[in-house]
Structure 1
Amino acid sequence: MRFQLTEEQRALKAGVRELLGRRFGREALRAAVDAPGRLDRELWRALGDAGFFALRLPEADAGVGLGLPEAVLAFEEAGRALLPGPLVATHLAAGRVPGAATGETVVTAVDGELVEWLEAADVALGEAAGAVPLRSVDPLTPLHRTPADAGGPAPDPVATLLTAAEQLGTAVRVQELAVQHARTREQFGQPVGAFQAVQHLCADLLVRTETARVAVYAAAVTADPADIAAARLLADEAAVRGARDCLQVHGGMGFTWEADVHLHLKRAWVRARRGGGGTESEELLAAHLVA
């Protein structure tokens, strides 16, 4: 399949990146890390004003009137920027929960036994009664665990795909960070990128990222559950393994709070636990192949 973004899609992607760069740059990211659990409501409303949550709502319902491919591009940029908050749940609630489309209402949802940003949300979809705080590996994603028997609805394929898009964004960003560090960091009088082992790591980052990109973009066009499952598996791998390889390129520096790489790895770990990933996607693909 040949897949090229239209001029309008490229403009949308660039516009979201510009908005997030202006409203949630590195300084804002660091401020968010220093205030875990606090959701920036002003930023949330700015996302609503930009149409982030209403991208797929019809224009007749005060939405933007775009489709799943455009939503995927927006969520890819959100993942690249490490934008915190229950983005997927609020996006899916637009048109169903008053205020979600405009960013006035923050919506989260129970996902299996976990729920993200429960205390900061105005609305929690699913049975969240009795949920208890859970120490999260990611300082920008507070978690609660629901009672084991509470469960939750089956993963929404759109939610699975939008999570894959966020993972793709992380894969893209850690690839950029690895290449930038390999070009500028010097050891033994030359850039570390001159060493073959580092070159191989960067090449693997590129291959996994572009493979995931093709799968995610194609799934956004077909909206086929099997395509979405495959895209999710590839995107999870590209994000998690990509962040780990980026850490290797950075060496010990990558584990420090001064570097952003470990934040991407921790967010990728948390996203990979969301519904629709891992075993769930593997089982769906296996059933599809058997059928």
Structure 2
Amino acid sequence: MDFQPTEDQRALRAGVRELLAGRYGREALRASVDSGAGVDRALWRELGAAGFFALRLPESEGGVGLGLPEAVLVFEEAGRALVPGPLVATHLAAGAVPGAADGTAVVTAFDLGGPLVAHLDAADAVLGAVPGAAAVPAGEPVRSVDPLTPLHRVAERGDASAYREEGALLTAALQAGSALRTVELAVEYAGRREQFGRPVGAFQAVKHLCAGMLVRAELARTAVRAAAVTGDGGEGAAAKLLADEAAVRNARDCLQVHGGMGFTWEADVHLHLKRAWVRAEQWRTAGEAEELLARELLG
């Protein structure tokens, strides 16, 4: 079994990175933070037009006709760019919810395992909603740690467990992309920030931090891609565990590399950490993944 990306897969990844760099670069990210906008409808439609949401929809249904291995490559890039919005839920809803495939509809999900729903204010539908209930239930705004992931508390709890396996793996891909990006941010800053007449990256303690970050990110990326190829539930749970840990710990270590600058609002590092905290609670938590792995090992 070959786990190396094919030429077409590498071209797909490069194309998505180019699209996001041009459409949702750092200036657009900071503008979103300043405005507090969680979902940019124009960007959503552009992603839809590029096939982001219809990537795994069969060509006979107007989709791209690719598979889960290609999807995780695309979601890595979205995680790297910190694209806000319910990307996973809208992708999963393609073909089932009108407008999801082409990005004209925003679909969120009951993926937080409780009464909280992300991006409810921008959603046209919610995956896992109670049959016969409103497409978008009423909700009470709740303060969110991530400025680009608004949360609402709803009275009716839905059940999106039918989408959990794929949702968890795609979320793990977002986390892996974020972990890889914080490695880049740490190395870049360590190379240009000087202390005692030398770049801080020349000091052994900083080198160790960056090396540890790279190992975690690559391990998570490998686990996510392997799970996408094999389709094994246990491997998917392990991938979510590793990716959550990589995203959170790498963001924390990136803060350390940046020193006092990392704790300022102007730095982007805190955005990666806050998004990683939220994603770690989506679709499958660490506790749920550990329980699944334990059952498989004991079975």
The equivalent of 1:277 in structure 2 is 285
Q: Which runs of 5+ in 1 are unaligned?
A: none
CA positional deviation for 1:40: 1.1
1:221–1:252 Cα change, 3 Å: same
Secondary structure of 2:110's counterpart equals strand
Secondary structure of 2:126's counterpart equals strand
Is residue 101 of structure 1 aligned with residue 101 of structure 2? yes
The match for 1:121 among 108, 123, 133 is 123
* TM-score, normalised by the number of residues in structure 2: 0.94
> What letter is aligned with 1:233?
L
CA positional deviation for 1:255: 1.0
The equivalent of 1:268 in structure 2 is 276
The equivalent of 1:231 in structure 2 is 239
Q: RMSD of the TM alignment (CA)?
A: 1.3
Any conservation in 2 of the 1:33–1:140 contact (CA below 8 Å)? yes
Is residue 144 of structure 1 aligned with residue 121 of structure 2? no
CA positional deviation for 1:276: 1.1
**Take 2:87 and 2:175, find their aligned partners in 1: how far apart are those partners?**
13
CA positional deviation for 1:251: 0.4
CA positional deviation for 1:38: 4.5
Secondary structure of 1:124's counterpart equals strand
Any conservation in 2 of the 1:37–1:117 contact (CA below 8 Å)? no
**Take 1:100 and 1:71, find their aligned partners in 2: how far apart are those partners?**
16
Any conservation in 1 of the 2:109–2:160 contact (CA below 8 Å)? no
Secondary structure of 1:156's counterpart equals helix
Any conservation in 2 of the 1:77–1:166 contact (CA below 8 Å)? yes
Moved over 4 A (4+): none
Any conservation in 2 of the 1:37–1:120 contact (CA below 8 Å)? no
**Take 2:102 and 2:77, find their aligned partners in 1: how far apart are those partners?**
19
* TM-score, normalised by the number of residues in structure 1: 0.97
**Take 1:151 and 1:107, find their aligned partners in 2: how far apart are those partners?**
14
Is residue 6 of structure 1 aligned with residue 6 of structure 2? yes
CA positional deviation for 1:152: 2.5
The equivalent of 1:87 in structure 2 is 87
Secondary structure of 1:119's counterpart equals helix
> What letter is aligned with 1:123?
A
> What letter is aligned with 1:97?
V
**Take 1:104 and 1:200, find their aligned partners in 2: how far apart are those partners?**
46
**Take 1:82 and 1:207, find their aligned partners in 2: how far apart are those partners?**
21
**Take 2:142 and 2:286, find their aligned partners in 1: how far apart are those partners?**
21
CA positional deviation for 1:170: 0.4
The equivalent of 1:159 in structure 2 is 167
1:137–1:185 Cα change, 3 Å: same
> What letter is aligned with 2:246?
A
CA positional deviation for 1:115: 1.0
Any conservation in 1 of the 2:168–2:284 contact (CA below 8 Å)? yes
The match for 1:188 among 171, 196, 210 is 196
Secondary structure of 1:274's counterpart equals coil
Number of residues of Structure 1 aligned to a counterpart in Structure 2: 290
The equivalent of 2:133 in structure 1 is none
CA positional deviation for 1:131: 3.0
CA positional deviation for 1:288: 0.4
Any conservation in 2 of the 1:54–1:101 contact (CA below 8 Å)? yes
Any conservation in 1 of the 2:240–2:289 contact (CA below 8 Å)? yes
The equivalent of 1:44 in structure 2 is 44
Any conservation in 2 of the 1:24–1:83 contact (CA below 8 Å)? yes
CA positional deviation for 1:130: 5.0
> Sequence identity of aligned pairs in percent?
69
String of CA shifts for 1:175-208, please: whole Å, max 9, x gaps.
0000111111100000001111101100100110
Secondary structure of 2:166's counterpart equals helix
The equivalent of 1:259 in structure 2 is 267
CA positional deviation for 1:124: 1.9
CA positional deviation for 1:34: 1.1
> What letter is aligned with 1:14?
A
The equivalent of 1:30 in structure 2 is 30
Q: Which runs of 5+ in 2 are unaligned?
A: 131-135
> What letter is aligned with 1:150?
R
**Take 1:189 and 1:29, find their aligned partners in 2: how far apart are those partners?**
33
**Take 1:4 and 1:132, find their aligned partners in 2: how far apart are those partners?**
45
The match for 1:288 among 286, 296, 299 is 296
CA positional deviation for 1:145: 2.2
CA positional deviation for 1:2: 5.3
The equivalent of 1:135 in structure 2 is 143
